């Protein structure tokens, strides 16, 4: 292997555009590359990559590895993995950054093991230790009850970064960078697992992960019906409805509603929790919200430690009156 | 031929313990197990046991549970047996510490899997609730070169294929993979079954197989840790919560709306 150098962001595109997560990773990667005095590259996999390549340069990349292959159009994980494995071996980056998205959750550990190196999982913060020129990563452990600072002994040092933690840089379309085509040899038989059917069960309206306002319900709601009230409240506010895992596990709402460590990471301007205790695993998915409001009957509930505004009370009394007042206030 | 299934399960500190009981030993850089709260089988691993037993409900299958650690609470680790699993293999050694490095753990588990002659299907919880690494299962799959499906909520075996309903951000997809395969499962799989009285009796009589490091042929070069823990701390939350009050609950709800309006939040 050649001497390792530079930072590689594992990028992706959605509907022909550079994904939001890739933009965030380029901001983190830019800082790390500057601290190292080395290059920032991004890999993009697919069949048509012109638009996202130019966007990647505008968002901070010095080099784009355009990994094109007809088989990569579908983003099958084993094919992506094979392509990234050969890219990492050939380009020999010092640091690799992957988004801990739904795909990244599978891709990052498998890539690390395939390369025989370590992975800092689900990082909230990555930086370069100038002295050793190694990566330092802060990552929540024990459901967010603690934070671990880890370093990695082998190169490439791979970090999976939690989405929506870093802000993308402002794009600069005058930035210069090069697009290098990286041919890979792939064979259909490498894709051993096959998707045979896709079922969507998401609620109508605004997507939970994009909503500016989210109203979430927990176990204290006691059943599926009260979620109707939350849906109405969310509609009034132009927002979406989420839930704690306890509500999902009880079967009151589909799994796609779950906010938290093993659910969705959301960063709305306003996050209203109703009858949610505020377990660290729940907060892991919403602590980046600008303002958290908690409605809970237990004054000792942990959610009040994270909330900006709180009401101690029974949701059955608080929520209808709150919704009514919101209706009046937002009508004029 | 019965389907030969392995479940990888970890003993962890109870993640639902009160936050006030959560303590860190700064010098050891580790979490202090709370004295009065017994450990549990990692929740997602119980989902994995349930997934394996659901397969066993509908066809001939054997379920072997493997776990690595320095010491075990036997009554805790026998829970999968009392739910209906057939065998328990404990990989127990002072050197099998619970570190943040998944590489080591995956190597130890892989050695044991190989020593047992391999499996048609390995089912694992998506992640352990202590280090939240979500790496060991996928690592085992990579080392063994198995086909892999992550984040299942339903797992079926038909002939030489596994069919998995895989959780996606907006629903699920049905994924098929050839055996031998490794599947990770999530809580969407549903409540694991409760041990039956008969199961508990059978589990009491069963003796786990216990293997130490020297029982497992491991490649020393593969045991170098890949991830080093530099520091471990409890994050401080600084948020000051403004409590909005009212004459009664309904009034507090109205006041809340007014307060949010005043602060230009709604
Ligand atoms: C590995 C792991 C991963 C996890 N991942 C997630 C995750 O992604 N997301 C997640 O949410 N959880 C997750 N959890 C679960 C988490 O630990 C908690 O168990 C869960 O968040 C609790 O949900 P809850 O707050 O709705 O329920 P509870 O903790 O039971 O809280 C219910 C709250 O409702 C209040 N209440 C009851 N009645 C009323 C009323 N009438 N009016 C007002 N308030 C009322 C109570 O005071 C209480 O505070 C995970 C756990 C583990 C171990």
A71 lines ligand 1 (CB under 6 A): no
Confidence at residue B200, expressed as pLDDT on a 0 to 100 scale = 96
Q: Say if CB B67 and CB B91 are below 8 A apart.
A: yes
A245 contacts on B by Cβ (under 8 Å): 187
**B residues 103..162 contacting A (CB < 8 A):** 103, 106, 126-127, 129-135, 138-139, 141-143, 147-151, 153
Q: Which of the four pLDDT bands, split at 50, 70 and 90, describes residue B225? A: very high
Residue A269 confidence (pLDDT) above 80: yes
Alpha helices in chain A (DSSP H): 20-36, 50-58, 77-91, 102-115, 226-237, 245-249, 280-283, 303-306, 315-331
pLDDT in tens, A133-181: 999 999 999 999 999 999 999 999 999 999 999 999 999 999 999 999 9
Residue from B135, B143, B190, B233 to probe the interface with A (highest A Cβ count within 10 Å): B135
A121 confidence band (pLDDT: 50, 70, 90): very high
pLDDT of residue A282 exceeding 60: yes
| Phi, psi dihedral angles at B209 (to 5 degrees) | -80, 130
Cβ <8 Å between B15 and A281: yes
Cβ contacts of A163 on chain B, cutoff 8 Å: none
In which band, very low, low, confident or very high, does the pLDDT at A201 lie, cut at 50, 70 and 90?
confident
Which part of chain B has CATH 3.40.50.620?
A: 3-216
Domains A7-190 and A208-330 share a fold: yes
User: Residue range B162-182: average pLDDT?
Assistant: 97
Confidence of residue A332 (pLDDT cuts 50, 70, 90): low
- How far is the C-alpha of A289 from the C-alpha of A214, rounded, in Å? 10
Rounded Cα distance, B88 and B77, in Å: 8
Instruction: Output the CA–CA distances (angstroms, integers) from residue B143 to A116, B61, B113, B135, in the order listed.
Output: 9, 24, 11, 12
With beta carbons less than 8 A apart as the criterion, state whether A118 and B139 touch.
no
Which atom of ligand 1 lies at the shortest distance from residue A260's CA?
A: 8
Of A218, A249, A278, the residue with max ligand 1 atoms within 8 A of its CB, to mutate for a pocket test, comes to A218
Residue in A117, A122, A309 closest to B132 by CB: A122
Asked if A146 lies within 8 A of B19 by C-beta distance, the reply is no
What separation, in Å, do the N-terminal and C-terminal C-alpha atoms of chain B show?
Answer: 63
For chain B, give percent helix, strand, coil, nearest 5.
30, 30, 40
Query: Which residues from A are below 8 Å from B187, CB to CB?
Result: 245, 248-249, 262
Of the pLDDT bands very low, low, confident and very high (cuts 50, 70, 90), residue A202 is: low
pLDDT given for residue A41 in this prediction: 98
Sequence-separated (6 or more) residues with CB below 8 Å from residue A121: A100, A108, A109, A139, A160, B132, B133, B134, B135
Q: Distance between CA B163 and CA A107 in Å, rounded?
A: 20
- pLDDT over 80 (residue B219): no
Task: List Cβ neighbours of B167 (8 Å cut-off, separation of 6 or more).
Answer: A255, B151, B152, B153, B186, B188
Q: Please give the full DSSP string across A267-307, using - where no structure is assigned.
A: --SEEEEES----HHHHTTTTT-SEEEEEES-TT-THHHH-
Mutate to test the interface with B, among A96, A101, A192, A259 (most CBs of B within 10 A): A192
Q: How wide is the angle at C-alpha A178 spanned by C-alphas A174 and A179, nearest 5°?
A: 115
Nearest to B239 among A207, A306, A330 (CB): A306
pLDDT at residue A203 above 90? no
**Tokens 């990569």 label which residue?**
A72
Please give the Cα distance from A187 to A173 (Å, whole number).
Answer: 36
Q: How far, in Å, CA of B178 to CA of B160, rounded?
A: 6
Look at B265 and A326 and tell me if their CB atoms are within 8 Å. Answer: no
Mutate to test the pocket of ligand 1, among B11, B14, B16 (most ligand atoms within 8 A of CB): B16
pLDDT in tens, A19-69: 999 999 999 999 999 999 999 999 999 988 999 999 999 999 999 999 999
Burial of A254 (0-12, 13-18, 19+ CB in 10 A): middle
* Whether A149 and B230 lie within 8 Å, measured CB to CB: yes
Angle at A76 between CA A75 and CA A81, to 5 degrees: 95
- Residues 6 or more apart in contact with residue B57 via CB below 8 angstroms: none
Task: List the single best residue of A318, A319, A330 to mutate versus B (max B Cβ within 10 A).
Answer: A318
Chain B's closest residue to A195, CA to CA, is B175
Task: Look at residue B237 in the predicted model and tell me its pLDDT.
Answer: 80
Judging contacts by C-beta atoms under 8 Å, the chain B residues touching residue A195 are 173-175
Interface contact flag, B188 A147, Cβ < 8 Å: no
Q: Nearest CA to CA, how far is A64 from chain B (Å)?
A: 28
Asked if CATH classification 3.40.50.1220 holds for the domain at A208-330, the reply, yes or no, is yes
The verdict on the CB of residue A296 being under 6 Å from ligand 1 is: yes
pLDDT in tens, A7-19: 999 999 999 999 9
| CATH numeric code, A7-190 | 3.40.50.620
Q: What is the CATH number of domain B3-216?
A: 3.40.50.620
Residue B1 has a pLDDT of 87
At residue A1 the predicted structure's pLDDT band, cuts being 50, 70 and 90, is low
pLDDT in tens, A213-230: 999 999 999 999 999 999
Distance in angstroms (rounded) separating the CA atoms of residues B78 and A180: 55
Question: How far does residue A245's CA lie from ligand 1's centre (Å)?
Answer: 7
Each domain of chain A, given as residue ranges in start order, spans 7-190, 208-330
pLDDT-based confidence at residue B218 (cuts at 50, 70, 90): confident
* Cα B169 to middle of ligand 1, angstroms: 20
Mean of pLDDT over chain B: 96
- Using pLDDT thresholds of 50, 70 and 90, give the confidence band for residue A205: confident
Report the residue of chain B nearest A268, measured CA to CA: B265
Task: Please identify which residue in the block is written with the tokens 């299934």.
Answer: B5
Residue whose entry in the numeric block shows the structure tokens 């380009």? A91
Coil, strand or helix at B262: helix
Q: Indicate yes or no: CB of B239 within 8 angstroms of CB of A148.
A: no
pLDDT tens, A60-103? 999 999 999 999 988 899 999 999 999 999 999 999 999 999 99
- CA of B155: how far to CAs of B54, B118, B166, B198, B212, in Å? 8, 19, 9, 25, 32
Q: What is the mean pLDDT of residues B127-141?
A: 98
Dist. CA B101–CA B157, nearest whole Å: 32
Q: By percentage, how much of chain A surpasses pLDDT 90?
A: 95
Look-up: residue for tokens 């694992």? B124
Task: Provide the mean pLDDT of chain A.
Answer: 96
Gap between the Cα atoms of A309 and A302, Å rounded: 13
Percent of the residues in chain A that have a pLDDT greater than 70, as a whole number: 98
State residue A297 phi and psi, 5-degree precision.
-85, -10
* Residue B239 scores a pLDDT above 90: no
CB contact under 8 A, B253 and A325: yes
**What integer is the mean pLDDT of B42-65?**
98
């Amino acid at each position: 292997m050649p001497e390792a150098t530079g930072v590689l962001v594992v990028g992706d595109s959605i509907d022909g555009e550079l994904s939001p997560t890739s933009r965030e990773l380029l901001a983190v990667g830019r800082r790390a590359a500057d601290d190292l005095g080395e290059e920032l590259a991004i890999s993009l996999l697919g069949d048509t990559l012109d638009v996202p390549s130019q966007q990647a340069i505008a968002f901070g990349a010095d080099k784009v590895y355009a990994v094109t292959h007809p088989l990569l159009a579908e983003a099958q994980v084993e094919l992506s993995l094979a392509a990234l494995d050969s890219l990492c071996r050939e380009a020999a980056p010092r640091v690799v950054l992957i988004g801990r998205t739904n795909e990244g959750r599978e891709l990052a550990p498998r890539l690390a093991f395939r390369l025989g190196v370590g992975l800092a999982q689900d990082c909230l913060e990555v930086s370069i230790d100038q002295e050793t020129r190694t990566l330092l990563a802060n990552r929540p452990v024990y459901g967010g009850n603690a934070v671990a600072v880890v370093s990695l002994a082998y190169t490439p040092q791979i970090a999976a970064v939690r989405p929506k933690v870093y802000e993308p840089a402002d794009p600069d379309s005058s930035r210069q960078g090069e697009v290098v085509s990286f041919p890979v040899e792939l064979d259909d038989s490498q894709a051993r697992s096959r998707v045979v059917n896709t079922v969507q069960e998401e609620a109508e309206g605004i997507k939970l992960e994009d909503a500016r306002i989210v109203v979430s319900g927990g176990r204290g709601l006691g059943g599926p019906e009260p979620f109707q009230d939350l849906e109405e409240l969310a509609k009034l506010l132009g927002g979406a409805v989420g839930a704690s895992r306890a509500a999902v596990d009880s079967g009151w709402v589909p799994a796609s509603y779950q906010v938290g460590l093993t659910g969705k990471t959301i960063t709305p301007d306003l996050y209203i929790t109703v009858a949610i205790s505020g377990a660290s695993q729940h907060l892991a998915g919403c602590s980046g919200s600008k303002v958290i409001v908690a409605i809970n009957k237990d004054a000792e509930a942990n959610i009040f430690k994270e909330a900006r505004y709180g009401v101690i009370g029974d949701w059955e009394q608080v929520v209808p009156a709150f919704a009514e007042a919101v209706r009046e206030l937002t009508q004029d | 031929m019965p389907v030969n299934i392995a479940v990888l399960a970890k003993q962890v500190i109870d993640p639902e313990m009160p936050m006030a009981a959560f303590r860190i030993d700064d010098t050891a850089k580790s979490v202090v197990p709370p004295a009065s709260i017994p450990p549990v089988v990692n929740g997602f691993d119980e989902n994995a046991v349930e997934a394996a037993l659901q397969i066993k409900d509908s066809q001939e299958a054997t379920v072997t549970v493997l776990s690595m650690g320095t010491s075990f609470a036997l009554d805790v680790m026998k829970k999968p047996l009392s739910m209906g699993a057939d065998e328990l293999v404990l990989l127990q050694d002072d050197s099998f510490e619970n570190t943040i490095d998944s590489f080591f753990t995956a190597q130890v588990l892989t050695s044991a899997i190989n020593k047992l002659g391999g499996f048609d299907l390995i089912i694992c919880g998506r992640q352990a609730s202590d280090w939240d690494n979500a790496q060991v299962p996928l690592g085992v799959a990579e080392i063994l070169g198995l086909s892999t499906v992550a984040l299942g909520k339903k797992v079926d075996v038909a002939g030489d294929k596994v069919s998995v309903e895989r959780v996606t951000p907006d629903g699920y997809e049905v994924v098929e993979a050839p055996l031998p395969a490794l599947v990770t499962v999530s809580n969407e799989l549903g409540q694991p079954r409760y041990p039956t009285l008969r199961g508990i009796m059978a589990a009491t009589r069963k003796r786990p197989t216990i293997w130490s490091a020297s029982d497992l042929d491991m490649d020393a070069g593969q045991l170098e840790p890949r991830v080093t823990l530099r520091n471990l701390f409890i994050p401080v939350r600084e948020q000051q919560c403004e409590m909005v009050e009212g004459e009664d609950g309904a009034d507090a709800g109205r006041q809340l709306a007014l307060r949010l309006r005043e602060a230009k939040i709604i």
